[in-house]
A and B are shown apart, each in its own frame.
Chain A
């Protein structure tokens, strides 16, 4: 009997992916189509980013996708001058957290945006992008 193939789409996420199999693997297809998506619980309406397959508050797995749209506020950021194993070729790069109100998004600043132009509180928007090594990701740009 042929071995059932694992759905490893998530291994396409980020410069180095550390997880391959997840129940929110459709995130990858949405990202591939240029959409950054989170999940919303159909029972209680909570928004989740990063997306989750389950809502612990509702004890439910009945979730729907929503698109991360509009802009959020930059909460904090840091430009790395050293990198962990596997990320050296990306240096320097800037990580950040952006607050959208109903949820927050952690990720990287668009490499085309100079760190000197950043300040806490400024409006940012997340957009789908590719990493230098051709993996799927998203970046923050000025809103």
Chain B
């Protein structure tokens, strides 16, 4: 099998409310990735468009977006795994190129969430769970992750302060990311000051400070075969490993709440395909939609043993200078979480890190990077491993 690499990455700024339509928002990530790869629309053989449905009114967005970006008459289609849609898109792009069907494929992720009220978007997210058996109880994303937090705290003695430390780290780097929604510093005291918004409970034990914000945003990743990349004069970051898994939608189907099986399964596959172990990862982006999600990711990816995730954050090993830097772009907690665009943004961060182009947040000389992107509450798990020559 030949190698498949990423030759261009881009994302829009992630914002609370984008003043435009989905096609205009997608253009922003597209523009950055095309300028990054220094190619033209005619160089692209196909596009995969990724988002979670029902946040905007457009049905079958792939057609509208391909037209707006000048990508007709090349084939385009839609891919969806909720919050991990664009990681799924990357897996499809890899497969299309590796199969020889196409030489280059673009993965476009987007979401406009601001056109719904916060209650409406919680309702949409809740309906990403089991609408027959769970949604009638009034479920929402923070509450599901809160159940995991409660179980993790009971099993291992993880504390609310451990969770807060993850947000403090996120804010340390979010301040440096001009594409992030939340750019203010965060202090541990904000979680204990009852007057502070960060300490307000959302779904116990999770507080406002434990949750990422909804956002509008787009991302674009350009994938090509080794030969095509060479012909285009690009220097790719290689896709070394891809893992993906699914789990029962209903919480009643889950054997445990202290971790996500899909993340463990996806990581196993990705490590095996790349021929590496967790110890070989130099920099990682994990799906920190909530602080507890990052803590569980440390354990599910093998950066820490089960129950020992808290030691990594307490000792600052996941900071930029630590043994395994995680989410040094601020993570979803700082950037915001425009569902369909999120995976693409994580991939972009790791590509920039591996090229040594990450600026203020550059980790020292990484050769292998990892992206952990979860759809729903541990419903879809995706782990991608990237490397440079």
Contacts and interface: CB of A to CB of B under 8 A. Distances in A.
Interface of A: 10, 13-19, 22, 49-50, 75-88, 90, 93, 95-97, 103-108, 115, 119-121, 135, 137
Contact of A18 (B117, B135, B140): B135
A87 B203 CA distance: 14
Contact of A79 (B117, B149, B204, B256): B204
A17 B150 contact: no
19 contacts: A14-B136, A14-B138, A15-B137, A16-B136, A17-B136, A18-B135, A19-B131, A49-B252, A50-B132, A50-B250, A82-B140, A82-B142, A82-B202, A84-B139, A85-B123, A97-B252, A104-B253, A106-B252, A120-B155
A95 B139 contact: yes
A107 B250 CA distance: 11
Contacts of B126: 84
A16 to B, nearest CB: 6
A102 B97 CA distance: 44
B147 A78 contact: yes
A80 B251 contact: no
Contacts of B204: 78-79, 81, 115
Contact of B136 (A13, A104, A105): A13
Contacts of A75: 147, 151, 256-257
B122 interface: yes
Interface of B: 117-120, 122-123, 125-127, 130-140, 142-144, 146-151, 154-155, 200-206, 250-254, 256-257
Contacts of A78: 142-144, 146-147, 149-150, 203-206
B157 to A, nearest CB: 12
Nearest to B118: A82
Contacts of B144: 78
Nearest to A82: B202
Contacts of B117: 85
B120 A85 contact: yes
Contact of B150 (A76, A105, A135): A76
A119 B202 contact: no
A85 B154 CA distance: 31
B147 A15 contact: no
